Amino acid sequence: MALIETKGLTYTYPGTSKPSIHDVSIKIEKGEFVLITGPSGCGKTTLCRCFNGLVPHFYQGEIKGEITVAGINTLDQHTYEIAKHVGLVFQNPENQLFALSIEKDVAFGLENMGTAREEMRKKVDWALHQTGIYDIRERSPHEISGGQQQRVAIASVLAMEPEIIVLDEPTSFLDPLSAEKIFDVIYKLNKEQGITVVLVEHRLDLTAKYTNHLIVMDQGTVRLEGDPRDILSNEETRRIGVGIPKATLLYQMLKKENCNLGNKTPLGSEELADQILEELKGD
Amino acid sequence: MSIFDGLKFRKVNSLIHNLDPRIKFVYVIGVFIAALLFLQIIPLLALFVIQLPFVFLARVQQQWLRSLRGAAFLAAFIFLINIATNFFGGGYTLTPSNIEGAAAMTLRFVVLVESFSVFFLTTSPDHLGLALEQSRVPYEFAFAFTAAVRFVPVLAEEAQTIMDAQKARGLELEKGNLLKRIRNYIPILIPLIVSAIRRSLELAEAMESRAWGACKKRTNLYSLQLHKGDYALIGITATILVSAIYAYFFVSIPTIVNLLS
Amino acid sequence: MIEVEGIYYSYPSKVEALRGVSLNIKDGEFVAIMGQNGAGKSTLVKHFNGLLKPSVGTVTVDGIKTVKSSVATLARNVGFVFQNPDHQLFSETVEEEIGFALKNFGFDVKVIEERITWSLELLSLSQYRKTSPFLLSGGERKRVALASVLACDPKMLVLDEPTIGQDYEQKEKLRQFIMQLQSQGKTVIAVTHDVEFVAECNPRVVLMKEGKIVADGQGHQILTDPAMLEAASIVLPQIAQVFTKLSALGLSKDIINIDEAKRVLLKAMEKHKR
């Protein structure tokens, strides 16, 4: 069974008439690195909120269709139950940290769950190490950079040992270098700990190379889904207004001029550079 | 901004900083009661001097002096009011003991300021929050306290940004009569309130996503435990209180005027 | 014309944010100020409209020393759009929001009316004239904030992180809009760490690090220097990444534009075939 599965999921926020997501049916398997993208207002964020029950429990409103996450029907479970399986990381790091020291923030979820102190200590330390912030664990949130704050936010859901981590544009306030560090942390969690990652982003330049399952949304519906190499070479993706990574775009332009670069659409600069080197060193 | 800078706490390690905040609070109350018992200079002076080692052990002399300086105006006010009431109430004469009484009143105030400032200067907000969490105060209150401490500097920064943004659109806060000046703040207040509401929604979302309310009995990463220093402080507090009460009932305390005559 | 001469600035918290910055920006230039968070970018641009005054050194805007002038006066010439539109929107309607600065600057009613109409059209917001700005989407709110500054028709425009949270098409529109302003001879100064956006526009780039300017030049020169960018904690734009990895081939190095990249690579491949 898929780890996340939705069937005909349609949801309308209270006080609005138009559904924010409409007839969404997707399957996410265990261990995948899923990237959801699409123009602003396409329903990406709303879909994320469905994954951990914020929609509909926190936001109310009208929901139709089916959704199971880690074997749970999120429609009839409390958010705090789902939180043990799905960690949600938000865009603005500042508003996710509410304690006065970093390790206390990381412990917040475990404290809520009533975890015993020694066990909590172990899990907190593990999460701090995984995200590379162990050395700054006693600092206060004012003393660290935005990138570090976002790593604290990741550690704080990681400590609850979820099977799935959902990140909603986690780096849009960060400079590219800090962003890259965040993506490295997430990628490592996916590869080494087998945590399923669902990442919402519209900067594919930075993220396409990590993914093995791409979902393109537009106006509340899923328009394209599957292998990122196929989807990024699909003309439809460009028409929806998704920013294709420059390396992928360059590859397509060269292919149009009948360049021989193999048939693997590159997702990042390394892949493209290798293909060009291959061709030019060729014989 | 500078008032808010004081809230951007940093961890300091000293014997006094590491004391259990609950015990420190008991100590402050102890000194408070002792100070209320006396209206003579000598015991109040003793209470004043007893606390000095705390200030030096905690290495907060500078901040401590600053807070005393801050209280100086009020102290002078108390002194003058006392002198004035004695002078006008006592048939337009002033005796030396009048002056001594006024000085004692003032000193009592200074002792109270001193003990409270030692408490607040040496207790970090997270320590205080922890003390709240581990006392019988409902967790929601403790959380509200720490969240407030966490976000006051953030909001102050935000207010500054909003002010900059509106000034850049030609808003002049100091222009016009009083009514106009108050109205000048509307373009600052509305964005501040709107973004505070947005922020609180985001916070609530983040809390929900971290299993807020998952079980009735929350646990805590830290536990406050009493150490040697804390027991010593309990001892000191008890000694101060017992001697104060003893002196109050059984010792006739000389005034300076008596001693000099 | 903005002339910055050897300025230092320290915040009240004693943090030294600028440590000897000198810079000239000519009329009609498009300048991207880049660098890591905390490099001093925002502090620097806040000197351009007098929100901050240098502790040492001088900033001269159109011949006026900022120390001697108020923000309200300087802001007539230097428009400043902040990163988060929610930090400035407060009016009941979009129209009033845009009229705010105009009123503050003492334009008369008829001119205000004209300018509002003009700026709404410029940013395709006309249909929202009577709508509350709070009901608009994030991208639209950002445009209202921009319109409210542009309505005063400032000679120079400072944009603080204009691309944050914007999707691909919004960024593309912004790029075209900046080009349009350029063609009208306006000075545009953007504070940003969006390398891909800067690579597409290829403006003059001023690179900052720890309160100092460490590099100043055209985008394709600065953004293709791996060592320089690494020192300033900036990543290379993707096209430049590709060419850095191809450095063994001896192709020209300063390429950040995709069309140029295509041209150069096609040429190299042709040569290789022969």
CB within 8 Å of chain B, chain A residues 92-151: 92, 94-101, 103-104, 107-117, 120-121, 124, 138, 140-143
| Separation of CA B107 from chain center | 18
Nearest CA in chain A to B9: A140
Residue B74 C-alpha, separation from nearest chain C C-alpha, in angstroms: 27
Binary contact (C167, A253; C-beta < 8 A):
no
Q: Does one domain contain both A8 and A130? A: no
Please tell me if residue A60 touches chain B, with a CB cutoff of 8 Å: no
What is the structure's pLDDT at B2?
Answer: 40
For A160, the closest of B10, B204, B211 (CB atoms) is: B211
What is the structure's pLDDT at B4?
Answer: 46
Write the pLDDT tens digit of every residue in A214-254: 999 999 999 999 999 999 999 999 999 999 999 999 999 99
What is the structure's pLDDT at B6?
Answer: 44
Higher pLDDT, A197 or B41: A197
Binary contact (C165, A172; C-beta < 8 A):
yes
Query: At residue A165, what are phi and psi to the nearest 5 degrees?
Result: -120, 125
Q: Does one domain contain both A136 and A274? A: no
| Torsion from C-alpha of B217, B223, B227, B233, nearest 10 degrees | -70
Q: Tokens 């949304």 — which residue?
A: A217
Q: Is the pLDDT at A54 greater than 80, yes or no?
A: yes
Q: Output the six-digit token pair for A240.
A: 């929806």
Binary contact (C238, A205; C-beta < 8 A):
yes
Is A67 within the bounds of a domain? yes
For C86, the closest of B5, B169, B195 (CB atoms) is: B195
Nearest CA in chain B to A123: B221
Write the pLDDT tens digit of every residue in A21-48: 999 999 999 999 999 999 998 999 999 9
| Torsion from C-alpha of B229, B232, B234, B236, nearest 10 degrees | -130
Average confidence (pLDDT) over B104-115: 91
Q: Does one domain contain both A255 and A228? A: no
Task: Collect all residues of chain B within an 8 Å Cβ-Cβ radius of residue A141.
Answer: 150
Residue C102 · residue C113 · CB < 8 Å: no
Is A102 within the bounds of a domain? yes
Nearest CA in chain B to C157: B168
Q: Is the pLDDT at B7 greater than 50, yes or no?
A: no
CB < 8 Å & 24+ apart, contacts of A186-194:
A186/A154, A186/A210, A187/A33, A188/A130, A189/A130, A189/A158, A189/A165, A190/A31, A190/A33, A193/A130, A194/A30, A194/A31
Helix (H, G, I), strand (E, B) or coil at C105: coil
Cis, peptide link before residue A176, omega less than 30° from 0: no
Q: Is the pLDDT at B224 greater than 90, yes or no?
A: no
Judging by beta carbons within 10 Å of its beta carbon (0-12, 13-18, 19+), is residue C130 exposed, middle or buried? Answer: exposed
Residue A236 · residue A204 · CB < 8 Å: no
* Structural domain of A275: 245-283
Question: DSSP assignment of A166-218, as one string?
Answer: EEESTTTTS-HHHHHHHHHHHHHHHHHS--EEEEE-S-HHHHGGG-SEEEEEE
Binary contact (A98, B150; C-beta < 8 A):
yes
Q: Does one domain contain both A230 and A270? A: no
Is A252 within the bounds of a domain? yes
Average pLDDT in chain A:
94
Interface test with C, best of A177, A232, A274, A277 (most C CBs within 10 A): A177
What is the structure's pLDDT at B136?
Answer: 83
Q: Does one domain contain both A62 and A104? A: no
Judging by beta carbons within 10 Å of its beta carbon (0-12, 13-18, 19+), is residue B110 exposed, middle or buried? Answer: buried
What is the structure's pLDDT at B10?
Answer: 56
ipTM greater than 0.90: yes
Q: Does one domain contain both A48 and A151? A: no
| Torsion from C-alpha of A21, A25, A30, A34, nearest 10 degrees | -50
Confidence label for B3 from pLDDT (cuts 50, 70 and 90): very low
Q: Output the six-digit token pair for C3.
A: 């002339």
Higher pLDDT, A174 or C23: C23
Q: For chain B, give me the number of helices (H) and strands (E)?
A: 11, 0
Domain ranges (residues) in chain B: 11-123+226-260, 129-208
What is the structure's pLDDT at C85?
Answer: 94
Task: Collect all residues of chain A within an 8 Å Cβ-Cβ radius of residue B134.
Answer: none
What is the structure's pLDDT at B1?
Answer: 36
Nearest CA in chain B to A118: B221
Among A34-38, A115-119, C253-257, the least confident range:
C253-257
Interatomic CA distance for residues A105 and C153, integer angstroms: 47
Write the pLDDT tens digit of every residue in C142-200: 999 999 999 999 999 999 999 988 899 999 999 999 999 999 999 999 999 899 999 99
Is A71 within the bounds of a domain? yes
Interface test with C, best of B10, B169, B183, B197 (most C CBs within 10 A): B169
Q: Could you tell me which of C66, C51, C49 has the C-alpha nearest to residue C5? A: C66
Q: Does one domain contain both A211 and A258? A: no
Binary contact (C165, A91; C-beta < 8 A):
yes
Q: For chain A, give me the number of helices (H) and strands (E)?
A: 11, 11
Average confidence (pLDDT) over C56-66: 95
- pTM of the shown model: 0.89
Interatomic CA distance for residues B149 and B83, integer angstroms: 41
Average confidence (pLDDT) over A86-103: 94
Average confidence (pLDDT) over B74-84: 92
Q: Is the pLDDT at C69 greater than 90, yes or no?
A: yes
Nearest CA in chain C to B186: C90
What is the structure's pLDDT at B125?
Answer: 82
Please tell me if residue B82 touches chain C, with a CB cutoff of 8 Å: no
The length of chain A in residues reads 283
- Give the Cα-Cα-Cα angle B241, B247, B253 (nearest 5 degrees): 135
Please tell me if residue B156 touches chain C, with a CB cutoff of 8 Å: no
Interface test with B, best of C69, C86, C141, C150 (most B CBs within 10 A): C86
Interatomic CA distance for residues B43 and B40, integer angstroms: 6
Q: Does one domain contain both A134 and A79? A: no
Q: Does one domain contain both A3 and A78? A: yes
Write the pLDDT tens digit of every residue in B167-212: 999 999 888 888 988 999 999 999 999 999 999 999 999 999 999 9
Q: Could you tell me which of B6, B17, B22 has the C-alpha nearest to residue B122? A: B17
| Separation of CA C109 from chain center | 31
Q: Does one domain contain both A61 and A40? A: yes
Interatomic CA distance for residues B156 and C91, integer angstroms: 22
Confidence label for A283 from pLDDT (cuts 50, 70 and 90): low
Q: Which chains touch A (3 or more CB pairs under 8 A)?
A: B, C
Average confidence (pLDDT) over B124-145: 87
Total domains, chain A: 3
Average confidence (pLDDT) over C80-93: 95
Write the pLDDT tens digit of every residue in B32-50: 999 999 888 999 999 999 9
Q: Does one domain contain both A249 and A274? A: yes
Is A183 within the bounds of a domain? no
Is A186 within the bounds of a domain? no
For A280, the closest of C170, C242, C268 (CB atoms) is: C268
Interatomic CA distance for residues C215 and B87, integer angstroms: 74
What is the structure's pLDDT at B191?
Answer: 96
